[in-house]
Structure 1
Amino acid sequence: MEILIAEDMLLLLLDDESGKLTLTSYPQTVLGGALLVELAATGAVEVEEKTGLWRSAKVRAVAGAAPADPVLRAAYDVIGEPPRTAQDLVERLGKGTRDALADRLAGRGLVERRDDRVLGLFPRTRWPAVDSTHEQDVRRRLTAVLVQGVEPDERTGALVALLSAIDKPHKVVDHAGLSAGEVRKRAKAIAQGDWAAKAVRDAIAASTAAITAVAATTAAAGAASS
């Protein structure tokens, strides 16, 4: 079974040594967006045209196109009928996904599960790296695209767009010779490019818009409580 885009994204979000999530405070949304993009790439869902500037694009499952992969199948079943907005879906798709994906990565021997308690009271689960070979390959491909100017393939382009949505592309590559701002600018341009099929581009646009909206809401809530 091939590694999903969402699994690659989770590897990038996990600190290799501590096994803790980094880079984003809303991993559920990001992983949900990654699943939505993969469903579009496999032809399992379609993103409908937006009906207004301020309306989120709607997504519907394609009848008879349920994926064989169990994680994608579960996401496909969540979408169901009637069509839902992308902003609603990235939250729904991402719910509980982190641990399911991490368990799969552990089964592949890429990370290991460590359960302990903070201060001896609060349970937590961490996922430190065991074999970083695959993650290093993902980072090399991201570096080739973001730093060396290589044209992205569909999978790498999707990762770049998702990282751009959380404003972190410069955090996952060695950008010697380029500033963080230049890497972020390159990532934004790629996210808006035409390197993928229309169905995938539409899903990426809908997912990243939804992630950005959640990020803005989270930031506003944090500012209001401070």
Structure 2
Amino acid sequence: MIIAEDLLLLAYDDRTGRPSLERTQLDYRLAGALLVELALTGRVDVTSSAATDLDGRPVGAGRVVVRDPSPTGHPALDHALASVRARARAPKSLVAPLAKGLRDHLLAGLAARGILRREDGTVLWIFPTTSWPAADATHETWLRATCHEVLLGVRDPDARTAALLAIASGTPLVRGIVAPEHRRQAEARAKDLAAGSWASAAVKKAVDEMQAAVMTAVMVAVTTSATATSG
């Protein structure tokens, strides 16, 4: 299970099979999760100064470059790794391309492994719709329990859990893990994790850039929608 898949399980309602997070927010955070995991495993780095990539091409500061091109064993991560190697870009320039088709790919993969179940239907007997309710919630139950303990300070997070909660920071997903009376504490803890004191410099940079890219993308989407509506 990769971080992006864990994020999906937190985002999708087990019964309705619908996401609790707005589409753009979710898609861009999923893409950011790929970059964060690649940084976490040492596959990629964010340059702090001018450098060269694995293929000897000059790369400016603030660009994501591949440090270890070995396969990860997961198709979504391997695709992201190949995209990074093809052209060094700032993290915020990678998020949108990596987000294309990513959610559907991950959902289909989780269904193929028996974790989710695909249900096709229609709205008003005309418009096709697809939902993804839980088929086997074993992993998600463990995941939510682990995140719950981390958010309430019962246990220290490992790097993957810290990364997941950092990516989810600022969304309703964090509040959904704990009881209402603990939501303020959980949000504060997730914010602390997003600040990255647990992370290496490369992972911290990836988390920061991912969060900035998500916020930029959301603002652009909102502005575009408002302009289209007013027009």
Question: What range is the shorter-chain TM-score in?
Answer: 0.7 to 0.9
Provide the rounded CA distance (Å) in 2 between the counterparts of 1:223 and 1:109.
40
Q: TM-score normalized by structure 1?
A: 0.86
Give CA-to-partner distance per residue, 1:39-74, whole Å, 9 cap, x none.
1122221112389xxxx9421223633433222111
Match of 1:124 in 2: 129
CA offset at residue 78 of structure 1?
A: 1.8
CA offset at residue 168 of structure 1?
A: 2.5
Give CA-to-partner distance per residue, 1:63-105, whole Å, 9 cap, x none.
6334332221111122223311211211111211111111111
Match of 2:15 in 1: 17
Task: Judge conservation of contact 1:145–1:152 (CA < 8 Å) in 2.
Answer: yes
Provide the rounded CA distance (Å) in 2 between the counterparts of 1:50 and 1:119.
56
- Gap regions ≥5 residues in structure 2: 51-60
- Equivalent positions of 1:92-171 (< 5 A) are 92-164=97-169, 166-171=170-175
SS across alignment from 1:102: helix
Task: Judge conservation of contact 2:175–2:186 (CA < 8 Å) in 1.
Answer: no
Match of 2:57 in 1: none
Note closer, same or farther for the CA distance 1:216–1:49 as it changes in structure 2 (3 Å cut): farther
**Paired residue type of 1:186:** R
Task: Judge conservation of contact 2:120–2:128 (CA < 8 Å) in 1.
Answer: yes
- Equivalent positions of 1:1-226 (< 5 A) are 3-26=1-24, 27-49=26-48, 57-62=62-67, 64-164=69-169, 166-175=170-179, 177-178=181-182, 180-222=183-225, 225=229
SS across alignment from 2:120: strand
Give the structure with higher Rg (CA): 2
SS across alignment from 1:84: coil
- Gap regions ≥5 residues in structure 1: none
Q: Percent identity?
A: 37
**Paired residue type of 2:209:** A
Q: TM-score normalized by structure 2?
A: 0.84
Task: Judge conservation of contact 1:161–1:208 (CA < 8 Å) in 2.
Answer: no
Provide the rounded CA distance (Å) in 1 between the counterparts of 2:210 and 2:194.
11
Provide the rounded CA distance (Å) in 2 between the counterparts of 1:65 and 1:184.
36
CA RMSD of aligned residues (A): 2.3
Count of paired positions: 218
CA offset at residue 183 of structure 1?
A: 2.2
